[in-house]
Chains A and B, each alone.
Chain A
Amino acid sequence: MPKVELARHLYAFFPDLEGKEINVEAGTAAEVVQAMEKLAPGFAFYICDERGELRRHVNLFIEQDTVRDRKHLSDKVGPDTRVYILQALSGG
């Protein structure tokens, strides 16, 4: 199962996730976000807008690579990969 690691900032909004190892059933980045939404209701709307697109200043890494399909998050996620959800460094 892919393992999800989160930016520390997100624990301020979803404190129940802090300190937990998060492993989700997912084959794509979109399924990772859906699984996170089940785990922490409201999570998906922090990461994606109401069209399902990754927000402008959020980054999702699959291992070393940034997600390529920011609109639909169709990028494949392998069974033993790490997925990182971070805020983009886009301002001072």
Chain B
Amino acid sequence: MSDRLILGTRKGTFILEKKDGRWQHVHRGHGGANIAYAAQDPRTGTIWSMIDHGHWGSKVSHSKDGGKTWEEAGQVKYPEGARHQEFAMSEPPEGEEPPPQKIHDSKVLKLWYVEFGTEDQPGRLYIGTIPGGLFVSDDDGKSWELNRPLWNHESRGGDLFDGKKPTGPTLWFGTPASMGTGEFAPGICSILPNAKDGNHVRLAVGCAGAIETKDGGKTWQGRNKGMIVDFLPNKEPEWGHDIHFMAQCKNDPNHVWHQNHMGVYYSDNGMESWKKVDDTDKGVNFGWPICVDENDGKTAWVVPQVSDQNRVAINEGLFVARTKDGGESWEQLREGLPQEHVFDTVYRHAFHNKEGKLAFGSTNGNLYLSEDSGESWQTLGNNLPPIHSVRFA
């Protein structure tokens, strides 16, 4: 349903609906609470909100009446004995062995993303967390189970449960989104189930890369061929890629896109390999979110920023960049967006598309919508709280 928008903001969950031809703010939930992410399950209509309480921890909340009332669902907890390694950032003095990686007893640091199973998987939900665990529910969020094959993946040093020793160092770096949690930990920021095959799920992990399962989560394979990390001695490592957000064409999922810390990447072969498709003349390089057309896998949109060092709108004017040819060329779409004194940043989960509509929200509390694939934009709100996520129902 593209006539309802769900916002996760610094001050609660906001619901907007299009009624009588006009977009209206209809409900607020979780007043004052920090919402990391909120989205609606298209199968049931239930809205799910990931609350990130400053004091009381992360909580899963849901609404079965369109955001009017909310109640807590089953809570996500790491199982007894779960442990993980923290990537050692310090270099050893010359001639000395690297310091051992720190091993933590695992706990939820942040609930970062929720996604929904396919039509033939009723009750299946996924939650991506910091420090990088994927939790799965098959009873519509009443209970959650950690996916252990991913958690115990060799790229993280294998099975560390119950005091077992790592088989090697973790190759999953931390994400800056973990700052403030007391740990530099990785996080699952994108979860992409294949609409036609529920056993096929792709994930993006900041900062590890793309990974997928084709057997319902029993085994996971990294898919990072072609990605470049400019600042590392080995510029094409197997792991350690900072994917900000990844999206795929719903009806042609061989077409996968992601906005990486290092640029925009496109794969037209189901992540077998990636191609960097930046266009610096059009400002397309650094940014956070990305959207892919539901039917045409060569069409994608990004909201570019100046650079890693200066995370604001380019030349103080806001635009969305669109490609229709798999990143061969890009165009800037500015009609209806502010073009003076703009410093908005659009976070990785704060841009979405559905049925020809696009919407994005910024950390400055501005909310914009296009109903013509990005050609023109209207303002749905100014002076809102910082917006962390924007999703059509």
Q: Which residues of A contact B (CB under 8 A)?
A: 9-10, 13, 42, 45-47, 49-51, 53, 55-58, 87-88, 91
Q: Which of B241-280 contact A (CB under 8 A)?
A: none
Q: Which residue in chain B gives the minimum CB-CB distance to A49?
A: B107
- B350–chain A nearest beta-carbon distance, Å: 23
Q: Which residue in chain B gives the minimum CB-CB distance to A45?
A: B75
Q: Which residue in chain B gives the minimum CB-CB distance to A53?
A: B107
Q: Are B108 and A13 in contact (CB under 8 A)?
A: no
Q: Which residue in chain B gives the minimum CB-CB distance to A57?
A: B55
Hey, which chain B residues are within 8 Å of A55, CB to CB? 55-57
**Chain A interface secondary structure, helix, strand, loop or mixed?**
loop
Q: Are A50 and B56 in contact (CB under 8 A)?
A: no
Q: Are B57 and A51 in contact (CB under 8 A)?
A: no
- A55–chain B nearest beta-carbon distance, Å: 6
Q: Are A42 and B72 in contact (CB under 8 A)?
A: yes
* Cβ proximity bits B282-323 to A, threshold 8 Å, 1 near / 0 not: 000000000000000000000000000000000000000000
- A56–chain B nearest beta-carbon distance, Å: 6
Q: Which residue in chain A gives the minimum CB-CB distance to B30?
A: A12
Q: Which residue in chain B gives the minimum CB-CB distance to A47?
A: B56
List the count of A-B residue pairs having beta carbons below 8 Å apart: 35
Hey, which chain B residues are within 8 Å of A42, CB to CB? 72, 75
Hey, which chain A residues are within 8 Å of B107, CB to CB? 49-51, 53
With A49-B107, A50-B108, A51-B107 known to touch, is A9 a contact of B75 (CB < 8 Å)? no
**Chain B interface secondary structure, helix, strand, loop or mixed?**
loop
Report which of B54, B56, B77, B182 forms a contact with A46, defined as CB distance below 8 A. B56
Bound-complex Cα distance A57 to B56 (A) = 8
The 7 A-B residue pairs whose C-beta atoms are closest, nearest first, are A50-B77, A87-B55, A46-B56, A57-B55, A49-B107, A50-B107, A51-B105
Tell me whether B343 is interfacial, beta carbon within 8 Å.
Answer: no
Bound-complex Cα distance A21 to B57 (A) = 26
Bound-complex Cα distance A46 to B54 (A) = 11
Most chain A CB within a 10 A radius of its CB, from B56, B78, B182: B56
Q: Are B54 and A57 in contact (CB under 8 A)?
A: yes
* Cβ proximity bits B78-120 to A, threshold 8 Å, 1 near / 0 not: 1000000000000000000000000001011000000000000
Hey, which chain B residues are within 8 Å of A58, CB to CB? 55-56
Bound-complex Cα distance A88 to B57 (A) = 13
Hey, which chain A residues are within 8 Å of B108, CB to CB? 49-50
Q: Which residue in chain B gives the minimum CB-CB distance to A58?
A: B55
Hey, which chain B residues are within 8 Å of A10, CB to CB? 56
Interchain residue pairs with CB less than 8 A apart (16): A13-B56, A42-B72, A45-B57, A45-B77, A46-B56, A46-B57, A47-B56, A50-B77, A50-B108, A55-B55, A55-B57, A58-B55, A58-B56, A87-B55, A87-B56, A91-B54
Q: Are A9 and B105 in contact (CB under 8 A)?
A: no
Bound-complex Cα distance A42 to B60 (A) = 12
Hey, which chain A residues are within 8 Å of B182, CB to CB? 56
Bound-complex Cα distance A76 to B105 (A) = 26
* Cβ proximity bits B33-54 to A, threshold 8 Å, 1 near / 0 not: 0000000000000000000011
Hey, which chain A residues are within 8 Å of B55, CB to CB? 9, 55, 57-58, 87-88
Most chain B CB within a 10 A radius of its CB, from A13, A42, A46, A49: A49
Most chain A CB within a 10 A radius of its CB, from B53, B57, B78, B182: B57
Hey, which chain B residues are within 8 Å of A46, CB to CB? 53, 56-57
Hey, which chain B residues are within 8 Å of A50, CB to CB? 77-78, 107-108
- B178–chain A nearest beta-carbon distance, Å: 13
Hey, which chain A residues are within 8 Å of B56, CB to CB? 10, 13, 46-47, 55, 58, 87
Most chain B CB within a 10 A radius of its CB, from A42, A45, A46, A58: A45
- A42–chain B nearest beta-carbon distance, Å: 7
Q: Which residue in chain B gives the minimum CB-CB distance to A59?
A: B55
Bound-complex Cα distance A88 to B53 (A) = 13
- A33–chain B nearest beta-carbon distance, Å: 13
Most chain A CB within a 10 A radius of its CB, from B55, B72, B77: B55
Question: A42-B75, A55-B55, A87-B54 are known contacts; what are 10 more A-B pairs with Cβ within 8 Å?
Answer: A13-B56, A45-B77, A46-B56, A49-B107, A50-B78, A51-B107, A55-B56, A56-B182, A57-B54, A91-B54
Q: Which of B2-28 contact A (CB under 8 A)?
A: none
Bound-complex Cα distance A9 to B56 (A) = 10
Hey, which chain B residues are within 8 Å of A57, CB to CB? 54-55
